[in-house]
Chain A
Amino acid sequence: MTATIAQYPASRIFTWRLLRRPGTATLTGLALALPALCFLGVFLWIPALRLIAAGFLTQDSRGALGGPVTLSHYIHFFDTSLYAHVLVVTLRISLATAAIAAVLGYPVAMVMTRSHPAIARIVTFITIAPLIVSVVVRTYGWQLILGNGPAGLLNYVLLSLGVIQSPLRLLYSEAAVVIGSLHVFLPMMVLPLASAIGKIHPRLEEAARTLGMPSWRVFHRVTLPLSLPGLAVGFTLVFSLTAGSFVTPAMLGGTNAQMLGNLIDQQITAVYDWPFGATIASVLIAIVVGVNLLSMRMLDGRRRAGA
């Protein structure tokens, strides 16, 4: 999300000229940001660093954390096939969700930016409105649709139509988690795509069409390459948000599609193994921060190449 904000060209950032008595403006600026920075420091950055540190500590029998410093929790995580499997499932679900969201996101983003304003407004409304509905509620809706047994909506419809003879097992699978995650995070792909496509000058596409390119080639040669920054932002958002989710895999994946978030919950709430829970959380942080840095570097490289 930082990337979307970072896209504002520097020229748009004005400063109050009259505030700019040498020295004072800098101080005012810092003073304005200071409360937020202190709050974030005390309640986010320091606790996050302490959590990461906890992954290298040892827990004694009374639950207190202390020395010796050890890598054993990380070795335990990567060496146990169960945990390594959860890591792979998390990456697989996040990658599938982000990739499918990109494919579905393009048509929606194009209609949002390139159609009659009334249609564009309706599509924007339907895309964004569910974002304000709690993930728990939306995922519950998918439970009703994907429900195993003849009473699930999809099974009911397919059985009534005679497409299948016995109910499918849809719920509690990786596919169900991907469907649920897509529903939750699709707007995070559509919005950056729409803002990138909105910035492409329509004349470019028009010119390509006038020169005889078929529509799909115009998309492939003009729209797609010019919207890549939006795609990178959307992909990063959907991937990291999916990787860090808890509710969707808990309600739609069950024990068949556990993700890192569910493992953290299990280790800390049920097993009360803080160092190991912290280790898994650190792995999750590493994945998310890694993907974000990668995409920021990509976007920076493009901007520099373009300039």
Chain B
Amino acid sequence: MNARLTGGMAWVLYATTGAIMLFVLAPLAVIVAMSVSANAFAAFPPRGFTLTWYGKVLADPEFLASLSFSAALAACATAGALLFGLPAAFALTRASVPGREALRVLLLSPLIFPVLVIGVALLRLFSDWNSNSAPLNLLIGHILVTTPYVVRTVTASLLLADVSLEEAARTLGAGVWRVFRRVTLPQIAPGVAAGALFAFMVSFDNYPISMWLADARYVPMPMLIYRQVASIFTPAVPAISTLMILFAFIMVVVMERLTGLRRAMAM
């Protein structure tokens, strides 16, 4: 059922969409252009061509510490999100639970709360508990905001997987665990992988949780960039930002290969 756009209206739609795509790409393109400018200030037009800023960034211990901390945090948060999210998605699609709709709303509730407010509430909780370990506090916060994405993507994959295969395997005498490992998992693996990557990026990019729970020793990447932008201009900011953009685009290509982007987002 593929209706194509035709006629004069089609050209209006294509032109408008083209303009909107330019709007979407413009700020990213500008950052990339500035990152190789020889100007020491972010001023237009960019002058010359240099890779000096990249060399400076990659040799900056503060940047490297922040990068490795963010990557480790995102990896652990993703593992946690899978640990909580996978079984929850199974409960939503493969078991007969009372009040499925309510359960779904509860599981996805971190998406409704403003992320910033989740951060404040956690700060309050951790200070009452005297929980001073910034990495642990950040991990809990990040698991909280990444889990719903895993639940959503995996639920969508499970709804598309063929249940009759699972039932056939059960009839043939395979145990529940074996059916999961040999029949269900292979079918949903791309969806799970895409959901995990998405969760990783949600954690890697998070600012509104980290701003409350980070301390001076553990600074996630988005906070490092925010601080450098807010302070006196350092020409390294466009270079760091370009690296972040590059990383994100690589991840998007991988997700697109795995399941297609719209399915990865389950929207």
Seen from chain A, the residues whose Cβ lies within 8 Å of a Cβ on chain B are 1-2, 4-6, 8, 12-20, 25-26, 28-30, 32-33, 35-37, 39-40, 43-48, 50-51, 54, 104, 107-108, 110-111, 114-116, 123-145, 147, 151-153, 156-157, 183, 186, 191-192, 194-195, 201-203, 205-206, 215-216, 219, 240, 243-247, 251, 261, 264-265, 268, 274, 277-278, 281, 284-285, 288-289, 292
Contacts and interface: CB of A to CB of B under 8 A. Distances in A.
B27 A145 contact: yes
A125 B31 contact: no
Contact of A13 (B7, B84, B93, B117): B93
Contacts of B49: none
Contact of A48 (B92, B117, B167, B237): B117
A35 B262 contact: no
Contacts of B134: none
Contact of A289 (B14, B24, B112, B121): B112
B116 A246 contact: yes
A26 B159 contact: no
Interface in B77-116: 83-85, 87-88, 90-98, 100-101, 103-116
A124 B113 contact: no
A40 B148 CA distance: 10
A8 B159 CA distance: 9
Contacts, number: 320
Contacts of A36: 84-85, 87-88, 107, 147, 151
A24 B59 CA distance: 58
B225 A16 contact: no
A39 B84 CA distance: 8
Nearest to B201: A132
B84 A35 contact: yes
Nearest to B198: A132
Interface in B201-236: 201, 204-205, 207-208, 211, 221-222, 225-226, 229
Interface stretch (B50-58, B60-68, B185-193, B242-250): B242-250
A124 B114 contact: no
Contacts of A132: 198, 201, 205, 248-249, 251-252
A247 B43 CA distance: 22
Given A114-B5, A134-B221, A144-B34, A29 B120 contact: no
B163 A14 contact: yes
28 contacts: A2-B105, A14-B163, A26-B98, A30-B97, A36-B84, A36-B151, A37-B106, A44-B109, A44-B144, A48-B121, A51-B121, A54-B124, A115-B14, A128-B262, A128-B265, A130-B25, A134-B221, A137-B225, A151-B41, A152-B44, A156-B44, A195-B267, A215-B7, A240-B114, A244-B208, A268-B120, A284-B114, A284-B116
A136 B155 CA distance: 30
A26 B96 contact: yes
Contacts of B176: 16, 19
B266 interface: yes
A5 B152 contact: yes
A26 B98 CA distance: 7
Given A5-B104, A37-B107, A244 B116 contact: yes
